[in-house]
Amino acid sequence: MHKYGTNPLSALALLIGDLGNAAVRAATGLSPQEMAALVLVRNRPGCSVSWLHERLGLTQSGAVRLLDRLQGDGLVTRSRTAGRREVSLAITPSGEALVGRSTSARSQAIESLLDGLPAADRDRLTGLIERVLSLRGLPRDEGDAACRLCDWPACVPDCPVEETDRGDSRADTRTPGRPHPAGR
């Protein structure tokens, strides 16, 4: 792609981000970062604050403050399991409901950008986007971060970010009953 081609792609990426973020805030009252924390905790129940802060790009103390707000709103719980030093995180039913509203609103906002495209063009665009994502070669934590606002179950079994992570030799961290397409 020549340099001009990066401008439309950059503008589209920003437009998608802005529309998605506005939809999340309108549907839930939460910031995209707060919603990202809920999505990640939802899809990795029992995760630790350390795991979460790495995927959100926050300091440990920043993640703790964010979790304090979410717990205060009744959206996440923290518990200490016997024999473990780290605190385990879980989403509450209220948090689960917000994630559902958020992913739906975000999807609708992004879909509105594509309304004028014929189905064949939409399929072609989706295929190209999936190809770009699969070429990226993201390590597991960056893959989780890239999917932090996604509706993870919607990508089962063919998440394009999963394609980037096939070489990861670390243990499979899937949670029974709530698989992530990439086994995160």
pLDDT cut 70: percent of the chain above it:
87
Running DSSP on this structure, what letter comes out for residue 41?
H
Measure the CA–CA gap between 149 and 39, rounded to whole angstroms. Answer: 6
CATH number of the domain bearing residue 118: 1.10.10.10
Evaluate if residue 55 carries a pLDDT over 70.
yes
**At 114, phi and psi to the nearest 5?**
-100, 0
Provide the pLDDT for residue 64: 94
Q: Looking at residues 82-102, what average pLDDT do you find?
A: 90
Q: Give the pLDDT score at 174.
A: 35
Is residue 115 situated within a structural domain?
yes
- Of the candidates 178, 166, 184, which has an alpha carbon nearest to the alpha carbon of residue 91? 178
pLDDT at 120 over 50: yes
Neighbours of 4 (CB within 10 A): 7
Identify the domain containing residue 40 by its residue range. 27-163
46 domain-assigned? yes
Is the pLDDT assigned to residue 15 strictly greater than 90?
yes
- Going by pLDDT thresholds of 50, 70 and 90, the confidence category of residue 180 is very low
pLDDT for the residue numbered 2: 58
Query: Number of structural domains, the chain?
Result: 1
Residue 159 pLDDT grade (very low, low, confident, very high; cuts 50, 70, 90): confident
Q: What is the pLDDT of residues 16-39, one digit of tens each?
A: 999 999 999 999 999 989 999 999
Q: What is the pLDDT of residue 49?
A: 92
The answer to the question of residue 20 being in a domain is no
